[in-house]
């Protein structure tokens, strides 16, 4: 069982997860002109916190994650809330083929877990319709303390470098701004701030 499988049942009980999703959704709604004809994909959706905030503004949302337990929780929420326009699929989008076309692809706090950013951005380009939107929320550069010593992913992102990578994959109208800050207190009672950006782009 993966780390995220173990965390799935209690994920939505963490107020920071809820506040972060609400802040990202607010900024996404301000930046991207959502409407009820658009279909969307959430990559690394987890329990779907962000998608459940956006569900009434979109025609259909497909949530994908490689954690079976996260998807199980998301599916339970779909059934409980009787959400006819949402689907939850256990797919490793980095490795498995997936055929569809979307008006919007978004994710939060997922990119720093992705080994090859360029490959997944290429995949997003293929999955988006021309003129479709991409939205990425993740950490600015941090000292490695967010996840700790055993973490093998990215320690946040230089957002300008990320924007250049995305632009090189045939995206345009790239914008980014800070949208949330996570504050953590360590064992020495020292507080560290971890700001999060939202980057948006349009597929050419």
Cα 129 from Cα 132, distance rounded (Å): 5
Domains within the chain, CATH numbers bracketed: 3-203 (3.40.50.150)
For tokens 């360590």, what's the residue?
186
Lowest mean pLDDT among 1-5, 88-92, 108-112, 163-167: 1-5
Please state the rounded mean pLDDT for residues 85-111: 97
Q: CA-CA distances (angstroms) from residue 56 to 40, 52, 72, 89?
A: 12, 8, 21, 20
Helical segments of the chain, H only: 3-7, 15-31, 49-54, 68-81, 117-127, 159-168
Please state the rounded mean pLDDT for residues 143-171: 97
Which residues are within 8 A (CB) of 143 and not within 5 positions of it... i.e. 6 or more apart? 155
Cα 166 from Cα 77, distance rounded (Å): 33
Q: Are 147 and 173 in contact (CB under 8 A)?
A: no
Which residues are within 8 A (CB) of 167 and not within 5 positions of it... i.e. 6 or more apart? 174, 201
Closest Cα partner for 198 from 137, 109, 133? 137
Q: What is the pTM of this model?
A: 0.96
Q: Percentage of the chain with pLDDT > 70? A: 100
């Amino acid at each position: 069982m993966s780390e995220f499988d173990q965390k799935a049942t209690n994920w939505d009980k963490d107020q920071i997860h809820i506040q972060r999703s609400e802040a990202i959704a607010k900024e996404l709604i301000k930046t991207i002109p959502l409407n009820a004809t658009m279909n969307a994909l959430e990559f690394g959706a987890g329990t779907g916190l962000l998608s459940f905030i956006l569900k009434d503004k979109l025609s259909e949302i497909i949530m994908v994650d490689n954690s079976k337990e996260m998807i199980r929780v998301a599916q339970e929420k779909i059934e409980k809330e009787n959400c006819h326009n949402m689907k939850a699929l256990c797919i490793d989008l980095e490795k498995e083929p997936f055929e569809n076309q979307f008006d919007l692809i978004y994710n939060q706090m997922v990119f720093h877990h992705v080994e090859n950013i360029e490959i997944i951005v290429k995949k997003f380009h293929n999955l988006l319709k021309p003129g479709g939107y991409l939205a990425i929320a993740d950490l600015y550069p941090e000292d490695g303390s967010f996840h700790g010593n055993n973490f093998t992913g990215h320690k946040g992102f230089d957002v300008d470098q990320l924007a250049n990578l995305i632009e090189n994959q045939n995206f345009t109208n790239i914008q980014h701004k800070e949208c949330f800050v996570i504050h953590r207190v360590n064992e020495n009672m020292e507080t560290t701030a971890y700001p999060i950006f939202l980057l948006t782009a349009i597929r050419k």
